[in-house]
Amino acid sequence: MAWLIIIVSLIVLWVASLCKKFHGSFSATKATFLNDGRVFRRRNVLLVIAHPDDESMFFTPAINYLISRGHNLYILCLSTGDADGMGNIRKEELFLASAILKIPHQRVKILDHPDLKDGFDKVWDWNLVARFIEDEICAHAIDSIITFDDYGVSGHCNHCDVHRGVQKLLHDFSERHLEAWELVSTSIFRKYSGPVDIWLSKLFPWCFPSRQLHCLLNEDPSKTYAAMAQHRSQWDRIVGVLRSDISWETYMTTKLITGTGLQLLRRYDKKPQDQKAQLLDEDGPAYIGVFVSILHDIFKEEAVEYVLALMDEMLTANPERARLFHDKSLADRDSYEPFLRLLWKDNWFIQEKSCKILSTIVSARPKTQDSTIANGASISKKEFTTNDDVLKGLVEWLCTQLKKPTHPSRGIPAAINCLATLLKEPVVRSSFVQADGVKLLVPLISPASTQQSIQLLYETCLCVWLLSYYEPAVEYLATSRTLPRLIEVVKGSTKEKVVRVVVLILRNLLHKGTFGAQMVDLGLPQLVQNLKAQAWSDEDLLEALNQLEGGLKDNIKKLSSFDKYKQEVLLGHLDWSPMHKDPLFWRDNVTCFEENDFKILRVLITILDASTDLRTLAVACFDLSQFIQYHPAGRIIVTDLKAKERVMKLMNHENAEVTKNALLCIQRLFLGAKYASFLQA
């Protein structure tokens, strides 16, 4: 009977707690949070966190409260959370989570400072933390700060250092009116007590009457879950997969694995990393053989996922282990076939890991294996056995992901990451171009935003750089909007590695086809000068900028030759290439128009009657005005050749560009170069 009373009491307490939770937030004071009880005033609030995901894991009740009540919320994240080498990924995840929480991208700032690195063993300078917070306060007129308390909720030393940094700031700027609020850390019992904790939170303020305390309930839990779901790197499925238990004995009973294989699995599975490394050093090919055999013979997803997770863990810890797959002792096995088959499995985890592992091991093959059977085997009738066929199979899957990704947010980044590794292979470049893969890359070349991480942009540009050495790919790049997009990326990017790879692409393309003329027309020479004036630490980037600048100067000289101009006029198709507006070209070459009784000038005048191309007409009018300006007898010569009447007809043309340049020509013809230039100005 007593147990029944206890159980009923707990149920009643639980239900009452839920009812109280849905009732709303409460305060120990009459004023609500960030409101003194008088007229509402919109606050500029700065949330200071240590790592991406802190905002979703710890502060969403406060964020939802502030956003729903119209306050301006800014986030300052003091590190990229790069402890595991995933800083760029975690930055993008924070931007995605912030979008779900209704915080604009421009109000989120993530620092990547060498003295503020993520890690339990990393101590942050409180003065440096205070300085960065002060910069944000000044930039956005911040009047309230929210951050961790001195324990940092989870006890992470970076969280504690953020708290100390805020304290340092408040101490140094005590004369400034600035509110600071801290998130109170609770005990393990309270953290896992569920809704019941609401009663403890309500009683807590009465225990500390001198402190102003507020309890903010999560008004939109679904939004919290959605925001936290964006931090996929912190909830990697591989961790969950490796925690599962696989009954390998059952597979041995059904003869899907051998007794020796079972012994090797027992020796390796669930062991510490250092012990696994020792086993691989001692007999690595034997373990690889067991893993590949399982993928060959066992089709149950649970076992397949587990073995792929083991392989991924092994290669991530040491990529050099990919060479184990090419050991001579495995020459009678096709190590590639199961991965190629699994690429098309209806399971994203299996697809992604298969692609990553296969790309790694095929790239690590001995050079003597090019265009031969996998592992150097001499005879095999299995499908997908040659290295070339393996690479073509990978390209097919990668192009499919770029067209219609299996995973909405990870499909394209995963494909681009593998492609950047594989495009060094001639077979991959050829297959990728034949599959029209180049056009799938072009839309990804744009300044990084919340939808596209800097890392994705960098790897996409890396793919284009590798393709810039392959002539068929260059031909496609010349007919697409690749060049304007690359220049926009350079203009808008501050990441050195992105700028470097784009400059290397431009340097490669400069002397191919019409790229040089397009670069000059798009204003690249001036942009290169601006880039050179910036303080870059990468010597390769500085060298590439110098080479690009020199090549552009040579290209301008080449484009400005009179022979080039004659060819353009005789073809009857004029464009705004650099020579038309280059004063030096006209000063140096205006007398060349006198050759063969002004033959080129006569053809130029004929174009005014014969051409129907609007740009050609506009450029022809402009060139006549340039001749009038720079030739001593220009006005007389043009008048004698009956050009005046033809130009005057174009003054009433329906196209504004044609009309403008025809008017300029008539002004210079009637008023002279000096006065016409004054009117133009």
Rounded mean pLDDT, 469-483? 90
DSSP state of 362: H
The pLDDT of residue 662 is 94
Cα distance between residue 294 and residue 258, in whole Å: 10
The pLDDT of residue 404 is 92
Amino acid symbol at 632: P
Q: Is the model's pLDDT at 28 over the cut of 70? A: no
Please state, in angstroms and as integers, the Cα–Cα distance from residue 91 to each residue in 94, 315, 380, 408, 455, following that order.
5, 25, 47, 18, 10
Rounded mean pLDDT, 481-487? 91
Higher-pLDDT residue of 520 and 107 is 107
The mean predicted confidence, pLDDT, of the chain is: 83
Place of tokens 């230039």: 677
The pLDDT of residue 236 is 59
**Among 22-26, 308-312, 367-371, 569-573, whose mean pLDDT is lowest?**
22-26
Helix (H) or strand (E) holding 77: strand 72-77
Structure tokens, 400: 């499919």
- With cut-offs at 50, 70 and 90, classify the pLDDT of residue 675: very low
Residues 147, 166 contacting (CB under 8 angstroms):
yes
Residues 484, 522 contacting (CB under 8 angstroms):
yes
The pLDDT of residue 90 is 84
Count CB atoms within 10 A of the CB of residue 221: 13
Query: How does strand 214-215 pair with strand 26-27?
Result: antiparallel
Structure tokens, 457: 């942009």
- Indicate the SS3 state at residue 273: helix
Residues 140, 130 contacting (CB under 8 angstroms):
no
- With cut-offs at 50, 70 and 90, classify the pLDDT of residue 439: very high
Structure tokens, 168: 């340092």
Dihedral in degrees, nearest 10, Cα atoms 317, 322, 325, 327: -110
The pLDDT of residue 676 is 45
Which long-range contacts link 362-369 to residues 24+ away (Cβ below 8 Å)?
362/336, 362/387, 362/390, 362/391, 362/394, 362/422, 363/322, 363/421, 363/422, 363/424, 363/425, 364/319, 364/320, 364/322, 364/323, 364/325, 364/326, 365/326, 366/326, 369/326
- With cut-offs at 50, 70 and 90, classify the pLDDT of residue 435: very high
Q: Using CB atoms within 10 A of its CB, is residue 614 exposed (0-12), middle (13-18) or buried (19+)? A: middle
The pLDDT of residue 190 is 58
Structure tokens, 532: 């050179």
- Indicate the SS3 state at residue 509: helix
Residues 403, 446 contacting (CB under 8 angstroms):
no
Structure tokens, 665: 């020509």
The pLDDT of residue 177 is 77
Residues 310, 294 contacting (CB under 8 angstroms):
no
Q: Is the model's pLDDT at 618 over the cut of 70? A: yes
Rounded mean pLDDT, 76-80? 94
Give me the residues paired with residue 76 across strands. 48, 109
Structure tokens, 229: 């779901």
Q: Tell me the range of 4-8, 137-141, 216-220 where mean pLDDT is highest.
A: 137-141
The pLDDT of residue 560 is 62
Rounded mean pLDDT, 153-177? 84
Higher-pLDDT residue of 311 and 217 is 311
The pLDDT of residue 35 is 66
Higher-pLDDT residue of 565 and 397 is 397
Q: Is the model's pLDDT at 378 over the cut of 70? A: no
Q: Is the model's pLDDT at 86 over the cut of 60? A: yes
Give me the residues paired with residue 147 across strands. 182
Cα distance between residue 171 and residue 126, in whole Å: 12
The pLDDT of residue 665 is 93
DSSP state of 644: H
Please state, in angstroms and as integers, the Cα–Cα distance from residue 223 to each residue in 192, 390, 469, 529, 611, following that order.
21, 43, 47, 47, 62
Helix (H) or strand (E) holding 120: none
pLDDT digits (tens, 9 = 90+) for 258-298: 999 999 999 999 888 889 999 999 999 999 999 999 999 99
The pLDDT of residue 370 is 52
Q: Is the model's pLDDT at 394 over the cut of 90? A: yes
Count CB atoms within 10 A of the CB of residue 619: 26
Structure tokens, 433: 């171009």
pLDDT digits (tens, 9 = 90+) for 193-206: 555 566 566 665 55
Structure tokens, 237: 């499925």
